[in-house]
Amino acid sequence: MSTIDICCLPKCCPGAPKSSWPELLGQNAGSVKATIEKENPLVTVVPLLAGSVSPDVSCCGRVYLSINENGNVDKVPTIG
């Protein structure tokens, strides 16, 4: 198992300071990214175009942002 795989195991993911940001739905992706990284410095935010397929790996150190054609977040950002 690689280091990336190990850090993504649920047993390695203690309670995060914050794990979901419903209040950021519909906002500009750049400001959403900055807010998430400020509120939970343990995560890396990965922007994806809406409709893109995110990797089939859940990781407590990652938040995928689904971004629409206007540059706004179109799904609630959540760790995983």
Structural domain boundaries of the chain?
A: 16-80
Residue 7's pLDDT band (cuts 50, 70, 90): low
The structure tokens listed for 21 are: 């940001």
Contact residues for 25 (Cβ-Cβ < 8 A; gap 6+)? 73, 74, 75, 76, 77
Give the whole-angstrom CA distance, residue 17 versus residue 15. Answer: 7
Closest CA to 65 of 74, 41, 15: 74
Owner of token pair 């850090």? 7
- Selected residue with higher pLDDT from 15 and 37: 37
pTM score of the predicted model? 0.76
Give the whole-angstrom CA distance, residue 79 versus residue 36. Answer: 10
Q: What is the pLDDT of residues 18-43, one digit of tens each?
A: 788 999 999 999 999 999 999 888 88
Q: Is the pLDDT of residue 17 over 50?
A: yes
Of all residues in the chain, the percent with pLDDT exceeding 70 is: 71
CATH class of the domain defined by 16-80: alpha beta
Q: Is the pLDDT of residue 8 over 60?
A: no
